[in-house]
Structure 1
Amino acid sequence: MSDSTRVLVVTSSILGTHGQSLGLAQSFQRAAEQREGVSLTLRDVVADDLPHLGLEELSSWQVPEEERSAAQRELAARSDDLISEVLDHDVIVLAVPMYNLGIPSQLKAWFDRVLRAGRTFRYTENGPVGLVEGKRAILLGARGGKYAGTPMDSQTPHISHMLGLMGISQLDSVFAEGLNMGDDAKEAALTEAHQQIETLVKAL
């Protein structure tokens, strides 16, 4: 990476300060703050309280900017601002808990606004092509059970495909798993995850 690396950290835990995925994000933040030339932007999609994407908001994207009503401009700004934030950063860090084998609905609401045809990807005769270039992503996953590498892990492919739709194909993952499988398993998993995070941050 260049000497100036801009990192966007997106958190999505509904448990507030008790969320283990937030703990992983904070570990990343502490390590990154020790690095010269690394700047961080924090985006908490739960605190943002993004609503589920609806037809009215989706339709506002289809109206030329100069023709939008005041209400349409306000609705379209949600997506416009989030897309600009992604484009302004070099690394996208997603701190993600696993809820019922999937991602939090708040994070899905974020993806629904940054995955936008004509802005972050386009359709071609050969399928969609990502328009977001030169970026990498890091997934920090916190899970009560152990799912990585098994058919039960529907979360990781989903995230990978959504990032890939934008054109972000480089994805590094750190998982803290088995967090509800006893104190010893939890401590060991978190210790290993924090060590992996430090290694990733050193490579920024």
Structure 2
Amino acid sequence: MSGFLGPLDPDGRIPPRQQTRVGTFLISAHGALARQFALSLPARFEAAWQTELNAQFYRETEIVSLLMRATSWVPDVALGSMLMTWETAWLPAPLAEITDPHLAQAVQLATLAHAVHGGIRPAALLPVEVNAQDPFVMALRRIEFECGRLLQAQILFLRGSELAPYRDAVSAALEQRHVGVRKLWRETLESIGIDVAEAE
């Protein structure tokens, strides 16, 4: 096993099977975020933090669109069961401690987004000799860059004064989300021959 994607083909490209599995995982995660952001958008913004939902929705949609076009797809029979596991993991997990339904929904979405944006670093898996002009390579780098920007919005919201009374519950929910996302990402990488210990 290796700590990086590959072995690369003669043109320095990632094997299509690895592209397919990594691409599907990322589309599943970011697609779930896009759907949940879309459902969270109110008809009218009544709080400052709600304006960020709109921006995040469009950025998640762009990530999914980019991956769909940049990935070299091949048939993968294992993806059916894996996709069911992933999609189940992204389902909302509201906090009982927060009685305001809109705020609770925003918190569960922010914790999932924080875990996806902060816990998955696909560009770190690219070997030095990879073809920098390959669409999939450029997509992974772009996604990691965008996730870094998106992460700042989740940090600001989760550390905001509005959530101060629920700080312990929010921290516990955030940690649980990170553990779950890291586990799924690790299993996905191991299924395509990536040594997670080396990758980290």
After TM superposition, the score normalised by the length of structure 2 is 0.27
Instruction: Return the TM-score normalized by structure 1.
Output: 0.27
- Higher strand fraction (1 or 2): 1
| Structure with the higher fraction of residues in helix conformation | 2
**Using CA pairs below 8 Å that are at least 6 residues apart, which structure has the higher relative contact order?**
2
